[in-house]
Chain A
Amino acid sequence: MSFTEVDDLIRVDHNALEAGDNCLFLREYKANAGYEGETNSLIWNLKKKPSERTTKGGWHHKGRAINQVSRELAGALNPEWLDHATLVPIPGSKAVDHPDYDDRMEQICRGIRPNLDVRGLVKQTSSTEASHAAGDGNRASVEELLANYQLDETLTDPAPSGIGIFDDVLTVGRHFRAMHTILSQRFPGVPITGIFIARTIHPNPFEDIDLPDWT
């Protein structure tokens, strides 16, 4: 399985992204389609909440999904890039002290292959509602996300020479944009690539439209 690049034709679907943003994805996640289909089911399994480990069934699917995604990324990423790149997982919506704190993206990155430079360079200072669970009107803006992000200065040495920002689903692109902003300020000139397991597609673009706040 190879990556597909987010080009001009696709970028319009992810309207927080900017023209120069370099983003790659493997699969297409269909909005409002539940867990029907291979990709949707994979993403649902990845997003299972730690607090529901004992109350809801199917927790073991989460571990399986994490392993599968690590394998798919391992097959698609350039091994030479991996040799020198710093892999930065996007922090989950819950801070470390929350029962739903979820480091799935970090686990996925570490599972790609041994001895990678995986660094949780950006931490979230307080818990927020998960984007996929929040109503469209309640999703955090890039500025709000930035206010809640903190660079972990204890992890900045050595400075990265290439950064991959890893997230499961590319929807509007706000989390990527916020991560990109904070990382490019701290490490100017270092190439940054967004790497996603899937991008969201809207089967009917007029349903579930992500309207800006001023409408």
Chain B
Amino acid sequence: MQQGATFKTLAEKFAADKTALPSDFVSPTEADEAATSVIEKLHKSGVYQFGVRINKAGDYPAKLRDAKHPVELLYYQGTWELSEMRGLAVVGSRKPSGEGAKRAGRLARELVARGFSVVSGLAAGIDKAAHTAALEAGGRTIAVIGTPLGENYPKENVDLQAHIAKEHLLVSQVPVLRYAVQPFQHKRYYFPERNATMSALTEGTIIVEAGETSGTLTQARAALYQGRKLFILESCFNNPAITWPARFEKEGAIRVRDPEDIWQALRPE
């Protein structure tokens, strides 16, 4: 990704030229050099096995095109087929209440029991609780991360990321070379971008717990825009400190009093 480009400007570029491929915008030499540098960089970070999915090539998930600024290229490690399973995202605060983390775990187990993959963002808090519970329940989990492959945030999830990359599915849209030269404060913008991709990859997003300014709300907006189901746990509605649950409910979000509310709203098998 070139200096100054954003996922939005790139999406606009590709929308204007229906047949374009990422390498069409630079010379073949530049494209080759970039590919070689990416591979070198990933090898240095210990990533020897990875795959790419490019829009218009085979195995690119058509569902990603529902995003407002769909990604043209993404990297992955692990079992790509998990992206073809039915899946729901379980997301929320990085600093949840004890009860919130438990709820995330219960939901993840419920999803596993129904044969759904548990998709989350590998952040601290709710994300970690959801991934971990899915693994403990013997289910499948997908992490859509806000760093390039081979990089971790937060550090506490290093082992979890390595395990998901090996045995499950780790997805990153973050440009490897651009990321390497960006100042730290700019790198955090990849997290909300990946929320939109995570939403597009799934049939719906379940918000367990989130503050008024949480990045999770990016995913809520993306889910509604993309025509995905947005589920909000009843406990969020009872929190006097936040106004977003009622706002999103008016826009079509589904209030979850009981897990059955989720299954009722999804299309049958």
Contact = CB atoms under 8 A, between A and B. Distances in A.
Nearest to B54: A4
A39 interface: yes
A133 interface: no
Contacts, number: 42
Contacts of A204: 49
Contacts of B81: 30, 33, 36-38, 40
Interface stretch (B55-63, B191-199, B225-233, B258-266): B55-63
B84 A37 contact: yes
Interface in B4-48: 21, 35, 39
Contact of A2 (B51, B56, B80): B56
B59 A2 contact: no
A48 interface: no
Interface in A1-49: 1-4, 9, 25-28, 30, 33, 36-40
Given A33-B81, A38-B81, A203-B49, A27 B59 contact: yes
A27 B49 contact: no
A212 interface: no
Given A30-B81, A36-B81, A38-B81, A4 B57 contact: yes
A38 B85 CA distance: 10
B79 interface: yes
A1 B57 contact: yes
A30 B54 CA distance: 17
B84 A38 contact: yes
A188 interface: no
Interface in B60-93: 79-81, 84
A28 B58 contact: yes
A179 interface: no
Name, among A3, A27, A38, the residue most crowded by chain B CB atoms within 10 Å (CB to CB).
A38
B39 A39 contact: no
Nearest to A202: B49
Contacts of B49: 203-205
B58 A30 contact: no
Interface string A121-155: 00000000000000000000000000000000000
A192 interface: no
B51 A27 contact: no
A116 interface: no
Contact of B51 (A1, A25, A201): A201
A198 interface: yes
B59 A38 contact: yes
B51 A28 contact: yes
B56 A30 contact: no
Name, among B49, B81, B84, the residue most crowded by chain A CB atoms within 10 Å (CB to CB).
B81
A198 B59 CA distance: 10
A204 B54 CA distance: 22
A28 B39 contact: no
7 contacts: A1-B57, A30-B81, A37-B80, A37-B84, A72-B58, A198-B58, A204-B49
